[in-house]
Each structure stands twice: as structure tokens, then as C-alpha cells.
Structure 1
Amino acid sequence: MKLTLDNDAITDDFFSDTRLIGIVAPIKNYQFCWQLNNLLGFNFRLDTEIDKQLRKKNRQYFFSVYQHEENNFLKYYLFHNHCDGEYLLPEFKHLDFLLLMKGDYVDDSGCSHIITTIKSIATVQMVAELTNEKIKNKEHLVF
């Protein structure tokens, strides 16, 4: 008997309680985290245990992930979308960062507040919520 993982089911389950925001901000990830921490009262920290690794063209690419835990249920993950010319989500090459809110439900007003606050950062050029249907490579964000 051969067992196979149902990646679609795993991905659907992972994204069942998430919201994802795409951000264009051509600055260093640690500078962006510092600004988010100051403006939103977050405590983003680099989490090397959940760094995303992709193997393309016989090479490993590492995408840093920062994590902030709001409470026991709600966690925020900030992904850097590019590494040496490769992209974590290639369908969104123009995005520099992906902010994933996972766990506890974030209502529309909470999400809107976060988007508005991020837009107030001088180096931010664009912020938009991404719907699950538009994300082709969701499995790249699953951990």
C-alpha cells in the first residue's frame, strides 16, 4: 500500500484561517520589520526554523520569515518574496513582502487598519490584500 500526501488538502487547510497582504517596499527586510514593530506595536523576529527554502535550477534559495505572535491564536508572518532573482510567489514578482495573518480571525476593520498603517510608511509604494484564488503557489507559504 502506497500512501501519498494530498498537497491540495494540506494547503486548503493551512489557508482556511488566514489573510494575506502583499507589499511593495524596496527596503531591507530588517528595516521594514523595525518600522512595522514601531507603528503597529508588533515584535517581529527572524524565525530561522520556518525559513522557506525552494530548490530551482539545481540551487537552493532561502526566503527569510519573520514572526510576531499576537496571542495564543493569532500569528503574523512576514515573508521576503525574493532571493537572488527567484521569487517565493512568482505570480507576484512585483511584491517585496507578504504579510500572512494566521490563526484567530482578523476582521475586515482589523485588516484595513493594518493596510492603512503599512501604507503610511514612506518607503511603501503599494499594499493590497491578496485573495486565495489569485495565489497559484500557495504551497510555498505552508509550513
Structure 2
Amino acid sequence: MKKRRLLVENNYDFQLMGIVAPMRAYKMVWYINQAMRIAFAKQKECTVHPFGREPIDISFYTYEAPYGNYRFIENRAVKSPKGEIHYLIPELKEFDFLLYVQGEMHKDYFERLKNGLEQLSIVHYFKIFEVDRIKAKENLIF
């Protein structure tokens, strides 16, 4: 009997930014909300099933704007099996948080977002990633 495989191509129409800031997520979100006049709201923890690994619980915040959606995601798992440290995107484990931006965002607004992060003294470093180069990008679809 012939075997058939289902090939699924996901559309990765989002931008991703990694942020290094040594603090709890709720404090970081508060600073971003104040500095950039964004209203991130805490969501229920999401269980992600990374391919080939045990399920992990991820904490995240969302903001829905007329022109796109934002997710502020903790890269480090809230709860993980056996008390081990697990990351949503293992190849980006040096980044504490991920800022996921999806939708038709004007280039000027993205620049404003970058400038706003640069102005926050609590942000040590941030980097914009090319999503196609991230191996575990499927973990961001939840």
C-alpha cells in the first residue's frame, strides 16, 4: 500500500524581535505599555507542544491594534516537565522575551517601536530576526 504524506506550509507573515531585559514579564510589559502607549493584556498560559519535546506552558500578553496584532511572549517556559529549563525557541535562549508582530504594520510604526525599546533603560539588548532563519518558528503558531 502506498503511503501519502501531508505537507503543510505555514505562512509566516510576522516579524519577530528578541529582547534581553532582566526582569519579570509583567514589569517589562508595564514599561512598554507606559512608554509606547500600548495596552498589552495578560492571556491565559498556553501549552505548546514543540516537535520532539515535552509540552511546555508559555506566558504571553497580547495587544490587538487596527493594523495588526502583537504578542509579548516569555521565551522561557513557565512550567516545564521535571523542573528543567525549557525555551519556546531553543536557539534564541539568550533572549528573555519575544515580541511577535503580525499584520499590515506601517514601516514608520515599526521604527517607532524600535526607538521606543531603545529608550527603555531596562532593555539591555534587542534584535530583529528573519523569521525564515529560525528553526523552531512553528512553536510561535498558537
Aligned residue number for residue 44 of structure 1: 40
Higher helix share: 1
Quickly say closer, same or farther: Cα 1:58–1:23, change in 2 above 3 A: closer
Q: Sequence identity, in percent?
A: 26
- Asked if 1:66 is matched to 2:65, the reply is no
Structure 1 ranges of 4+ moved more than 3 A: 1-7, 54-60
Aligned residue number for residue 111 of structure 2: 112
Quickly say closer, same or farther: Cα 1:36–1:3, change in 2 above 3 A: farther
Aligned residue number for residue 48 of structure 2: 53
Q: Max radius of gyration: which structure?
A: 2
Cα offset for 1:3?
A: 7.7
The letter for the 1-side match of 2:33 is N
Q: TM-score, normalised by structure 2?
A: 0.82
- Partners of 2:88 and 2:114 lie apart in 1 by 21
C-alpha contact 1:52 1:141 (8 A) present in aligned 2: no
- Asked if 1:123 is matched to 2:122, the reply is yes
- SS for the counterpart of 1:105 is coil
Q: TM-score, normalised by structure 1?
A: 0.82
The letter for the 1-side match of 2:110 is C
Aligned residue number for residue 70 of structure 2: 76
The letter for the 1-side match of 2:126 is V
Q: Which runs of 5 or more structure 1 residues have no equivalent in the other structure?
A: none
- Partners of 1:81 and 1:90 lie apart in 2 by 8
Aligned residue number for residue 20 of structure 2: 24
